[in-house]
Amino acid sequence: MKKVKKAVIPAAGLGVRFLPATKAQPKEMLPIVDKPAIQYIVEEIIESGINEILIITGKSKRSIVDHFDKSLELEVRLEEKGNAELLEMVQELGKLADIYYTRQKEPLGLGHAVYCARQFVRDEPFAVLLGDDIVQSDRPCLRQLMDLYDQVQSTVIAVMEVPQEEVSKYGILDAVQEQPGIYRISDLVEKPSQDNAPSRLAIMGRYIIEPGIFPVLAGAEPGAGGEIQLTDALKVLCREQAMYGLAFQGKRYDVGNKLGYLQATVEFALARPDLSGAFREYLRTLCAKINEPV
């Protein structure tokens, strides 16, 4: 039986929707409370049982590499100050998993970023987690996909039903439900218009993909937005192999857009025992103020 042992995080995009914050720093490093977005993703991968991770980086993305590296100077300072708790946290960060890096020289699109992982992946099924999509769930979202992969031994994509007026923001499935929450995919369309969308089942930032995607990506042409789209390559693969969508359990935040980022920040802060009391009180006062008659 084939097992998923490697994960890829494409994090080389320009982050245009979050300018000017992303002019010189990666959007994947924007903190949600006190942890950069990409750390939540790395932790989800590790909790799912995968220990080999490739991060696709690009221009202005050095801080991602530094974040997961050992920081001797910081460790010495924390030791001198006797701050054992912070010292342990920083040391743990440096040895979270085996993290490898490769550069996407130009941000030509998500499909191209995934193609940059071919040497790392070779001929195994692999997971892809987008660097700006965070999922909060009891069982890690990636683990849920891996459980389905173990059964079907074929490409599995995380999906969520979105309102009709939002279909043009996503890759959308043409699919039939085989079991509750499990869809057999017959086609995929990147960012269709409302009239042309085959369903409201949208692709979220988690995939398990068969290595057969690489020959398809090798010959891929730019699609929607002039970018080499992963959805277009999956569309071709879907004609050759079985492909499934999984409506996962959990809440997904697109932290690459401003509203999604704010929602994640508020909800993650409310879930933090060390912050929730004071923060809840602050929000209560704020809500009362907002609701006051003007």
Q: Under the rule (CB under 6 A), what is the footprint of ligand UTP?
A: 10-17, 56, 104, 107-110, 112-113, 130-132, 256
Residue 235 C-beta: closest distance to ligand UTP, Å: 18
Q: Tokens 């993290």 correspond to what residue? A: 99
Q: How far apart are CA 90 and CA 273, in angstroms?
A: 20
- Nearest approach in angstroms of CB 236 to ligand UTP is 19
Q: Which is nearer to ligand UTP, 99 or 130 (CB)?
A: 130
Cβ nearer to ligand UTP, comparing 11 with 175 = 11
**Of 16 and 270, CB closest to ligand UTP:** 16
Shortest distance, position 15 Cβ to ligand UTP, whole Å: 4
Beta-bridge mates of residue 4: none
**Least distance to ligand UTP, CB of residue 12, Å:** 3
Q: CB 194 → ligand UTP: shortest distance, Å?
A: 20
Question: At closest approach, how far in Å is the CB of 80 from ligand UTP?
Answer: 37
Nearer to ligand UTP, 54 or 78 (CB): 54
Nearest residue to ligand UTP by CB is 13
Q: Given the complex with ligand UTP, which of 21 and 93 has the nearer CB atom?
A: 21
42 vs 78 by CB, closer to ligand UTP: 42
Q: How far apart are CA 110 and CA 130, in angstroms?
A: 9
